Amino acid sequence: MAFRVLIVDDSKSMRAVIKKTLKAAGFYPDETYEAENGKEALEIMDQHEVDVVLSDLHMPVMNGLEFLAELQAQDRVPECFILVTTEGRKERLKECLGLGARGYITKPFQPEGLRKILTLLLGEPDGAGMDEGPEGRDF
């Protein structure tokens, strides 16, 4: 399946973990874009079409809720907008879902959790399943 993903998180290491987790879950994006905050993410989306957004909520400059609200105001929330966050307050998460987010995964997360939500929204991945390395799951 062909898709383009935008990973939005102020932590470079978390963006790397999410990229590796996508591959471990059998999802191989055609293009992967990265942003440190919502403002950068909007700039990327001005230049590139994306099918999937995986965004943190707590970021400097423009947080994930502000980013999502701006996308909603411009009527350009991707069909597959997923929060990857430490946020546990149900009210805040419901607010995001009301703005167009399709779901969320709380950090720390397991690769299978990301695989399940992406499979639900995108269909089965190109890969047969979770990649297995010589020591177990490779992520």
| Residue 137 phi, psi (nearest 5) | -65, 130
CA atoms within 13 A on the CB side of 32: 14
pLDDT at 135: 42
Specify the pTM. Answer: 0.85
pLDDT at 127: 55
Tell me if the domain spanning 4-120 has CATH number 3.30.420.480: no
Model confidence band, residue 112 (pLDDT cutoffs 50, 70, 90): confident
Say what the alpha-carbon torsion angle 118, 56, 32, 98 is, to the nearest 10 degrees: 50
Q: Is the pLDDT of residue 18 over 60?
A: yes
Domain range summary for the chain, segments of one domain joined by +: 4-120
Which tops the pLDDT comparison, 35 or 139?
A: 35
Using an 8 Å Cβ cutoff, are 20 and 29 in contact?
Answer: no
Q: Is the pLDDT of residue 104 over 60?
A: yes
Through-space distance between the first and last CA atoms of the chain, rounded to whole angstroms: 21
